[in-house]
C-alpha cells in the first residue's frame, strides 16, 4: 500500500508552483489532499482534477491566508470532508521587493500576515485535530540564511521568523508525537521566481549547482519528511537550495 494511505493532508497555497507540486506528490503517495488558494480558482480545480484523474482524492478551498477565520474554517472543512487530519503544509507565501525608501508598510504587514501569522494560525488549528504521527511542514526560504540583494529585507525576516517558530513549536508538539520542520528552498522555477528572467541569471551565478530547482524536487523532500521514516526529525530548518547559502 501507498506510504501515506489513509492520511489526510492540508496545504495552504496549493494552486500553483511548489504547493501544487506538493499536493500532487502527497496524493500520489496515497494521501487525501485539501488545498487552499486565494485567486486562482481554475488552477486549484485543475490540481484537484489531476489528482482525481490519477485515482486520488482532493478538495480545493478558497481561503485567504491573511485571514485567521478563513484558515480555521478551511481546516474544519477538510476534516469534515476527509474525516481526519495528519499532515499540514504551510506553503502560501508572498514576495514583496522594493527599495527601502519605497517599501510600503502595507506590503510589510501583508508579508508578515501571509508568510508568518498564517503558519501560526494553521498550526494551532491543525494540531487540535492531529494525533501521534502528525506532520507539519513550513516552507521557509534559503533567504533566511542568505539575502544577497537589496529590497528583500522584510521577506528574509519573514522566513527567518519561521526558523524560530519551528524550533519553539517542536517543543509543544514533540510530546504528542507530532513533528514540525521548516524546509528552506533555494531559487525554484515558479511564477514567483521564473528561471528565465534576467534576475535569475544573477542568482544562478551564485549557486554551486548553477541552476534553479524544480518544484518536484521540493515536493519529493517534503514527501519524505511527512512520511513514517522521518519521525526523528523535528524543529529543524532544512535547506534544499543547490548550495545557494553555502
Ligand atoms: P507562487 O507565487 O508560484 O505560488 C504561491 C501559492 O500560494 C499559490 O498557490 C497562491 O494561491 C498561494 N497564496 C498566495 N497568497 C495566498 C493567500 N493570501 N491565501 C492563500 N493562498 C495564497 O509561489 P512559489 O510556489 O514560488 O512559492 C511557494 C512558497 O515557497 C512560498 O512560501 C515562497 O516564499 C517559498 N519559496 C519560493 C522560492 C522560489 O524561488 N520560488 C524559494 C524559496 C521559498 P493563488 O494561486 O490563488 O494566488
pLDDT tens digits for 136-185?
Answer: 999 999 999 999 999 999 999 999 999 999 999 999 999 999 999 999 99
Supply the pTM of this predicted model: 0.99
Among the listed residues 155, 212, 224, 232, the single catalytic one is 155
Please report whether residue 3 resides in a domain: no
Q: Indicate whether residue 37 lines ligand 1 (CB < 6 A).
A: yes
How far is the centre of ligand 1, averaged over its atoms, from the C-alpha of 17 (Å)?
7
Calculate how far, in angstroms, residue 62's C-alpha sits from the geometric centre of ligand 1: 14
Please check whether residue 245 lies inside any domain of the structure: no
How much is the pLDDT for 163? 99
Closest CA to 241 of 177, 198, 193: 193
Q: Is residue 133 part of a domain?
A: yes
145 in contact with ligand 1, CB cutoff 6 A: no
In a domain, 95, yes or no: yes
Contact 185 CB / ligand 1 (< 6 Å):
yes
Pocket test of ligand 1: the residue of 44, 92, 137 to mutate, having most ligand atoms within 8 Å of its CB, is: 92
Atom from ligand 1 closest to the CA of residue 159:
34
Residue 1 pLDDT exceeds 90: no
Active site residue 155: yes
User: In ligand 1, which atom is closest to the CA atom of 187?
Assistant: 40
Residue 1 included in any domain: no
For 216-234, the pLDDT digits (tens) are 999 999 999 999 999 999 9
Residue 76's pLDDT is what? 98
Burial 129-167 (b: 16+ CB within 10 A, else e): bbeebbbbbbbbbbbbbebeeeebbbbbbbbbbbbebbe
Number of domains, the chain: 1
* 1 Cα to the center of ligand 1, angstroms: 31
Say what the ipTM of the complex is.
0.99
CB-CB contact of 24 with 92 (8 Å): no
Share of residues in the chain with pLDDT > 90 (%): 100
What distance in angstroms lies between residue 92's CA and the mean position of ligand 1's atoms?
Answer: 5
Tell me, what CATH number does 110's domain have? Answer: 3.40.50.720
Domain range enclosing 102: 8-240
pLDDT tens digit sequence for 32-76: 999 999 999 999 999 999 999 999 999 999 999 999 999 999 999
Amino acid at each position: 500500500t501507498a506510504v501515506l494511505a489513509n492520511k489526510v493532508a492540508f496545504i495552504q497555497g496549493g494552486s500553483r508552483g511548489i504547493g501544487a507540486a506538493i499536493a500532487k506528490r502527497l496524493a500520489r503517495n496515497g494521501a487525501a489532499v485539501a488545498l487552499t488558494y486565494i485567486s486562482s480558482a481554475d488552477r486549484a480545480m485543475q490540481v484537484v482534477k489531476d489528482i482525481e484523474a490519477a485515482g486520488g482524492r482532493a478538495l480545493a478551498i478558497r481561503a485567504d491566508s491573511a485571514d485567521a477565520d478563513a484558515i480555521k474554517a478551511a481546516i474544519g472543512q477538510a476534516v469534515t470532508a476527509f474525516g481526519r487530519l495528519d499532515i499540514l503544509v504551510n506553503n502560501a507565501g508572498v514576495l514583496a521587493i522594493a527599495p527601502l525608501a519605497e517599501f510600503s508598510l502595507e506590503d510589510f504587514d501583508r508579508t508578515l500576515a501571509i508568510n508568518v501569522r498564517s503558519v501560526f494560525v494553521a498550526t494551532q488549528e491543525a494540531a487540535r485535530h492531529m494525533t501521534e504521527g502528525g506532520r507539519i511542514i513550513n516552507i521557509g526560504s534559503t533567504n533566511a540564511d542568505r539575502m544577497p540583494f537589496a529590497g528583500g529585507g522584510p521577506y528574509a525576516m519573514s522566513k527567518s521568523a519561521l526558523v524560530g517558530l519551528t524550533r519553539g513549536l517542536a517543543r509543544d508538539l514533540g510530546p504528542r508525537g507530532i513533528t514540525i520542520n521548516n524546509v528552506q528552498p533555494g531559487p525554484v522555477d515558479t511564477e514567483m521566481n521564473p528561471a528565465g528572467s534576467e534576475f535569475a541569471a544573477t542568482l544562478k551565478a551564485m549557486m554551486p549547482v548553477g541552476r534553479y530547482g524544480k518544484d518536484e524536487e521540493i515536493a519529493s523532500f517534503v514527501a519524505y519528511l511527512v512520511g513514517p521514516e522521518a519521525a526523528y526529525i523535528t524543529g529543524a530548518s532544512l535547506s534544499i537550495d543547490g548550495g545557494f547559502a553555502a
